[in-house]
Every structure is written in C-alpha cells, then in structure tokens.
Amino acid sequence: VDLALNRIKWYIERKNNKDFNPNDYAYFFNERIAEYDTIVFHILAQAIANKFRPGSREVKLFVESQGLMIEDRLIKLPFSERKEIVEEILSDLLIQDGIEWSFLKDLVATKKLSLTDLVLQNGEIVLDKEEFVYSFGDEFVGRSPDRVYDILIGENLRELILTKLLMQNTENYIKSIQDQLAIVEMHPTIVELGERLDETITESLAKYSTYYASGGAYGNMEIGKLIREAFPPCIENTVNGVSSGGRNDAIVLLLTSFVSYARLYPGIFGSDRTVKVSDIDTNLNITLNEILPLIFEAADNCTPPLFEDQPQEKINIISKLGFGMHEEVSLENEGETKWYTPMSCEKIKMHLPHLCKENKDCAKINNPLSYYSRKKWIMSKNGELPSGDNSKEDSKE
C-alpha cells in the first residue's frame, strides 16, 4: 500500500516540484522491485476504478503517471536496449489492425507531435521499418530507404506513440474494472486504498496549488467568493440584463468566462499553466451552486429572457466552461471543449460596445479580470469587503 501511495506522490512531485530530487524515488527504477511494481499497478488501477468516476481528475492523474513513468524508465536505459524494448512492445501492441492518425489527436493538440511528423498510408500510421521499406522503398532514388526511415520516423516518434498507446490501455483497463463493479465486490483493502488515495492526492496537490498569481501592485489575485461590488461596468451591465441583439455574446462569451475565472482562477493571465474547472472546483459544487446560477440569472434578466427563445444557449454556456456540448456539467465530459478565457477590453469595445461604460477605475485596465482584482484590492485596503470573504479557503468546497 505504501508503495502504491508513493507512486502517486512521485508523479505529483515529479510534475510540480521545481526542486524535485530523483534520488528520493530511485527505488522505482530498480529492477529488483519489478514484481512488486506490477502488483502496485494493478491494485492502484482497482482502487482508482472503485473510488473515482470515469474521466475524473484522479483517473486522469493515474493514467498520466503511467505515461511519465514509462518515459523516465526508457530514458535510463542504454540506447540499444531501449530501442529493442520499444520495438518489442510496439510490435505486440500493433499486431492488431494498426492505428489511425486520429488516435494521436491529443498528442497533436499538445504540440508534442505534428501531423507532419507522421508517415501515413491509407490513414494509418506507418511505424514498422519493414512496412515502410516495402511501401515506399521504390520512391527513394539514390537514398537508402532504411536511412530515410530513421530520418522520417525515428525513435522519438516511436517512443511517443508507445507511451500514448500504453496510457490508452491503462485507461481502458480502468474502464473494464468499472464495468464489472456491479457484479464484483471489491476487497476491503482495495476500498481502503481508494480512500487513502483520495486524501493523498488532495493533500499533495494542495502543496502545489498555484490557482492564484501575482497581481503586481494589487497583491495576489486569490480565489474567493464573488464580490459583485467589484464587477467592472461591462459585467455589471450584463448581469442586469441585455437587450435583444447582444444577448448571446454578452452571456455566453463575456459573462460565462468572466464569472468562472473570477470565482475559480482569477490569476489565469499571470500563469503559464493550463487548467480545467475541476482542477480547482473538484466536485463542481462551486460551478453548480454559484457560477451557473449567476449566469442563468443574467440570462433571465435579458429582454426577452435568453433561454425563452434560445434554449440551446445553455449548452453553449456549458461548452465554454470546458464540458462539451451537453445540457449539464459533468466530469465525464470535461475536456471535450476548452475553458474559454475572458474577453479583453479591446474585444468588448469592438463586439459589445453598448456594455462598455467606462468609469474612473477602468483607466489603464485591459481586461475585466484585472479590473475585478484591482477593485477587490482597493475595497480590501479600505475595509469595504463583505465579511466572510476568506479567499482561498472556500476553494476546497
């Protein structure tokens, strides 16, 4: 159990700790623990499948940890041995019908891989050297097909695809366990491990929570209850209701992004990391009980009420929060679309000029979030913040 928990801690530390010391977890790269490591993988998969929902933060974390562990272990091998292992595993994995290029769309989206890096034949990726030489050998005049293969495909691409395939297999394995939970009773030790994993992941991630960033002269832009008195004029005007003609963009594009980031991640523009709503609002309680009600209230204040004649805009709002084209927010759908960042003042003036009624506090402000953080800072300095605004504490809801 301790080895299982430490494997999760390793991943979180490895990914987030700038002072990470590999020697602290060197035992994970010792061949003598191979048998125990295999057992740990299976009990972790079972505990996570039993405790957490498909698509949850914890499931994704475990799958990603597998990918990073594979990468780190490959790097430590001598090149010849590394190449041989990659070849053997890929051959086993691709005995089936090969893989479509679309399988790697997530990898392409991260820019770790470009479609121009792939050699395709009938929509399938060519990885095997013999297949490459057989299919394209006649195309190269005066050049060795083997050498061209090494240049075009090479080991880096093969390792990337290997890692992606094994991560997908891990996710499929968890799904297969979850499919059997209705007919199989999980061992109490596995159930207990799931509870301890929940605590460990929450506590470990909390150490590296950067869901606030420097606000320069305005201190830290921290998570906290929404303060309507600090809303910029454009947001205040939107909440009060927008007339027909500008309703859609005002509610779906402007208000949805502003309210969600102001409540959950006001420091987005001071951060270089990509986050999802559930990274901060783990159980979506804040989203369901604070963010969406305010957006829907503003939609009802429109003339005519937005959802009366355009009910599909509820789905668009969900989409802009990163939960895909669905009628409700669900962790299972998160990531199907991206969480849109707030519009800049320049874009608001261009597309929603009727909402931009500048006041003295708008001077030198280029985004509604900056206005909001600055206004909160001024209100705090003057003792004007409503009581009970405890900043980061309520982000744990």
pLDDT at 120: 66
86 pLDDT band (50/70/90 cuts)? confident
Q: Is the pLDDT of residue 346 over 90?
A: yes
pLDDT at 140: 74
Q: Which residues contact 110 (CB under 8 A, 6 or more apart)?
A: none
| Chain position carrying tokens 């005066």 | 142
What is the mean pLDDT of the segment spanning 299-324? Answer: 93
Query: In this structure, what are the phi and psi dihedrals at residue 30, rounded to the nearest 5 degrees?
Result: -100, 125
- Its pTM stands at 0.58
pLDDT at 114: 60
pLDDT at 392: 42
pLDDT at 295: 95
Type of residue numbered 306: L
DSSP readout, 174-214? Answer: HHHHHHHTTTSPPPHHHHHHHHHHHHHHHHHHHHT---SEE
396 pLDDT band (50/70/90 cuts)? very low
What would the pLDDT profile of 198-243 be if each residue is shown by its tens digit? Answer: 999 888 877 765 554 444 444 444 567 899 999 999 999 999 999 8
Helix-then-strand count for the chain, H and E: 19, 4
pLDDT at 134: 74
3-state secondary structure 128-189: CHHHHHHHHHHHCCCCCHHHHHHHHCHHHHHHHHHHHHHHHHHHHHHHHHHHHCCCCCCCHH
Q: Which of 96, 114, 94 is nearest to 104 (CA)?
A: 114
